[in-house]
Structures are given as C-alpha cells and as structure tokens.
Structure 1
Amino acid sequence: MNSPPPTLCEDDFYQTLVENAAEGMLTIDQESKIVYSNPAVEEILGYSQEELIGSSKMKIIPERLESVHAAALDAYVDTGERNIDWDGMELPALHKEGHEVPTLISLREHEHNGDQYFTGIIRDITEQQRREEQLQEQRDRLNEFADILTHDIRTPLSVAQGYTEVAQENHNSPELDEVSESLDRIDTLVDTVLELSKSGQLIGETEPIDIEAYIHKSWDSVETQEDTLQIDDELGQIVADTSRFQELLENLFRNAVDHSDEAVRISVGSLAEEPGIYVADDGPGIPSSVHTDVFEHGYSTNQAGTGYGLSIVQQVVQGHGWEIDITESAEGGARFEIKW
C-alpha cells in the first residue's frame, strides 16, 4: 500500500511561492529598515539577501532621490494619505555596481504582531523602456517621413490644381470638373493622413453623416466605366470621421472594380439583423481560405495592386470600433459586412 504524499504546511507553501517569484519582493518596516528580500531582488539589483536585510532601504535608492523617498514614507506614516501611486510607479533603483535600473514598483502595507510593514513588488522594466524608446524613434522617423512626403506631394499637386483651374476658365468640360474634384480629394487625404500620423490615431473627429451621400461621393471618386452602383434601401446616418469613411467606401468599390475582368455591379444596403451596411458585388469573389489574409498589408491577388486597399478598410473599421466580415454575395461575388 502506497503511503500518502508528504504535506506542505501553509507557511512553507507561501514561502516557496515568494522565494521563486520572478518579481523582486522587498519588505521594510516603518523606520525604512529592510526586513526581507527574496532571491529575485539579487537578480535585478545585484544585492544578496544577506547584504540587504538589516540595512536601510536607502541602499537601493539613488542619492538624488533619497530625500524624496524618506519624505514620502514619513508623510504616509504620519497622515495615512498616499501621495504616490501604490499600484505601479516607475522609479529608478540603485544597482550594487552603481548604475541605475529602471523599475516598476507596486506597494502593499500589512501588519504583523502589531508592527507596520511595507512590501514593494519590484519589476525590472529595462527591456520595456528600450522597446518604448525604439518605438518612439520609429514614430519620429515616420512623422519626419510624413512631413517630407506631404511636402513632395503638395508641390506637383498645387501645379496640377493651378493648371486645371486655368483650363476650366478656358474650357467648359465636365471631365475637367472631375479632375478638379479628384485633386481636391487628394489634397484632403494628404491633410488627413498627416494629421492622423502626427496624433497616432486611426481616425479623427467624428460627426453624424448621411451614409447614402457619402456612398455617391465615394463612387464618383473611383474610376468606373461600365460598372454600376445600386443602393438597395434607406441607409440613414452614422457617426463617423467623414474623410476616413469615404476612404473606406472608396477602397471597397475600387477593390471590386479592380478584381473583375468584366463590368461589375456593386450593391450597398442595410444589414437585416444588426446595425450596419453591406457592400456586395457580382465579381469573382474572394475564396474563404484567404478571408483573413486579404486585410493584411501588402496582400493582393491582383499583380498590379498594392495590397493596401483592404488593409486601410480594416484600419478605418477598427478605428471607429466597428467590425467587418467577408461572406459570399448572392451572385457569387464578395460581400463585406460592416457592423456598428
């Protein structure tokens, strides 16, 4: 008969958890004397348990911050008011070798045998800060690139707008009116992209807009020949970023037109069971095996395509907090359902 496994008393169990925790745990009394340090503190700050226990917490505090730390603890002991974020604050700690380590510290207060203690949970965030710095450098480079690109686009755009205005003065041509509208649309897109890249957002300010009106605006800005647009029912209004909503529709229309070798019929209507709209076509459709892939940057089944159209659509949808699904239309083409 097998004997029962040895039991671990509760105190031993919790001690084992603390000793093997990935985060450093350091406990001080109300006089700032260190009474406990787990092994993870040595991995983070280089001090062994023997070197820390019994010493002042100032041992791990950079000299320039010693007075601040001392005043914060004294103030709390005297008043009970927390003037710092106990749930997580970024503070530098002093390594045994003399350099500072960026840490995230959470504090907890507890009593034992009538005495007051404070335990800090210490996490080394060196790698996190390094990644944040790298991301900031990337954002700075992207902002600089956006400035340069905007400047380089505006120069020929201004020239094209100027010559178009001159041509309109001398010729009454509907084609020139369409050129002028397209150039104005490019101008608006440049402003929108630059503004959003600077703010780090996917959409800008929103307002109530008439959906059908923006369907027609979007259709007029897409190069179509024998392709047709059909609006199936009343669509009402939606609160959206006007420029980005138009960009969404333009890309859906362009996607249907560009991926069909024949004239395509596109229909837009309201979803039956939940708020939203569908954009469906009678083109070749999108295989179900690539429904997720088509929203990725650079993915395209058209050799002449950039692969950014549907990626932009998904960005606009996500920026508004909506959802988008792809199904098959009644005619066997693609059907995009946008739910809000």
Structure 2
Amino acid sequence: MSDDRHTAIPLREFPDPALAYTVDGDDARVTAANDAFEQQFEQGPVGRRVSTIFDRFNSCDTTGDLGPVSHLVRGDRIGVRLDGYGNRGPFFARVIPSDGDTGYIVFADLRECPDEGSPPGVDQVSSVISHDLRNPLDVAKAHLRAAEETGDPGHFESVADAHDRMERIIRDVLTLTRDEAVVQPTEEVAIETAARDAWESIDTEQVELTVSESLPTVTADPDRLQRLFENLFRNSVEHGVATDETGTGQATESPTEGRSDGRDGQTRGSTTVAVHPVEGGFYIADDGPGIPSAKRDIVFTPGYSTQSGGTGLGLAIVDRIVEAHDWDLTLTAADDGGARFEISFC
C-alpha cells in the first residue's frame, strides 16, 4: 500500500475499500490504496489506470449519463454500480473529487444492502445513501484531527460543511422512506405563502422569483408543500447556471457539468423562476436550459444524479410528496425552453 500522507484525507479513515487517484489526461492514475482495497481486490494497484479497475467488472453503470472515467476526469461526484467480478460484490463505488485533479473512489459491498436483487428503488437507494454518510463523517473527523494538530481554524469550516451535507442526506432519506401517513394534508395552505417561505430558505443569489398573486389555496401538509417548493427552486437555481461558449464566463459550472436533473447545458443561465396558477393547480417554471424530453421520466428516479455532491433524491422527493397528496405532476418545457413542473389537484 502506498504512503497516503500526500492525500487530503488519509485513506485509513475510510472503512470500506478505497483508493486515491490523480487525473492524467483522459484517464486517471491510482496514487494510493487502503488495506481494505488490497484485501478485497489486489495488492499494489498504485500507478494503474483507473479505467483498468472498472474494466474488470462485466457490468458498470453510473448515476450519470457518461462512462465512469469521463465523469471522474470532469470532476463529477457520481456513483457507479459494479458487478461481475468473480464471486465478489456487486459494489457501489462513490467517486469523490477532492482538490484539483485528485480524488477518491470508495467501494461499498451491496450484499450488505437489503433487496439487492430488486430493481433500484427507495430501499436500495436508502442503503446506498447510508454508505454515503460515511464520506462526510470521515471528512469531518479528518479535519477535526487536522485542526487539533495544526491549530488552523480554517478546518472548522470544512467540518461544518460536512455536517450540513450529512443533515441533508438524512432528511432526504427519511422523506423517501417514510410512508404516506407522514403527509397530513389537513390545513388550508396558500400556495403563494408556501412558495415565498421556501424561497427564503435557499440560496438564491442572482436569481429572481416571480409569484402570481392569484395563486389558489389548497388543502395540504404545509411542511411538505414547502419542502416541495424548496426542492424545485433549488433544482432550478443549481442547474440553471451555464458558462459562455468559451468557458470563460462567471458561472461556476460548465454547460454540461453538475446536472442532477438530466439537463443539457446551453450558453445562458437561469435568471428567473416563476410560480403561476393553471386551471386546477399551479406550475413552477424557470428560464434555464430545460430538461430533454427523453430524460423527463428518469429524473424522478431515486438516486439518479450527475451533480457533484448530489444525492439524486431532490426530484424523487417532489414526486413522493405530490403522490402522497393525490395530486398529479407533469414535467414539460417552459415557453422559453426552461423546465416547467405543473401540479394539478385531483
């Protein structure tokens, strides 16, 4: 096993098989591996191309829309389901980008998860996400140790970020795994109020919200309705950003990077999110790049994500909340090409 002192997080902090990598052209090279990886797979993987690790498996499916190495080189945080490597696995590999062109791949054995043989669903995704909680926990532990050793207070910001991510993962998983009884549509809720309250709870810098004053009032669970708006707003805000054609714009994502909702990037960013009434309901629309029609079903699948750091549960939670209220949800294109989520009260 290679000395891992050069990595930001010591590989020994990962309880599962893990390796560190550095991007090298259109592939990446293994720079270190922990004992668990060498015991599970092989000894001395340092220097090998990461693609050769994935090539050992007969089946290799990512949570994104590209091959695993392409996502890795691009700096995406994704999951990879691997199967067909002797009598081992199947595995769920987490690609975790770090500083610059470096990162980690952590392998979780799906035999430890219930209903592995079933089609991907809430139970399986919950088990996979529970493994994902280990990553921010390990990050927090490593930075706390570094703060103790160096006295550098900058590490505490990383600890706080890791805790925030764990809290969001836990909340998302609980929302998906609880049954319909958790949703109690017993109050008269003003759609306009729910939308504005949700907007205040997320980071919406440089994005404008327009809310119609003629939105209806509906019998709903107020907490879940606000959660629905939060997830849809966050989806529009996070995925409406795009760089210019030369890649030199001020946005933080490239046209095709960081999409958790299957959007194809264009050369303009989302600047407006609108909530307006329709007959028998309301809709949320943005003026971002939109979602291709071929991907409008899969984006609601639990665990589907190509966003760096995304759990792939945001839109799945929206779908669950709508279903629990006995409403209907339709995803179409907005008039200006963005995404439009229309909710009808049945």
Kindly indicate whether structure 1 or structure 2 has the higher relative contact order, using CA contacts under 8 Å at least 6 residues apart.
2
More helix by share: 1
- For the pair shown, the structure with the greater C-alpha radius of gyration is 1
Give the TM-score taking structure 2 as reference length. 0.41
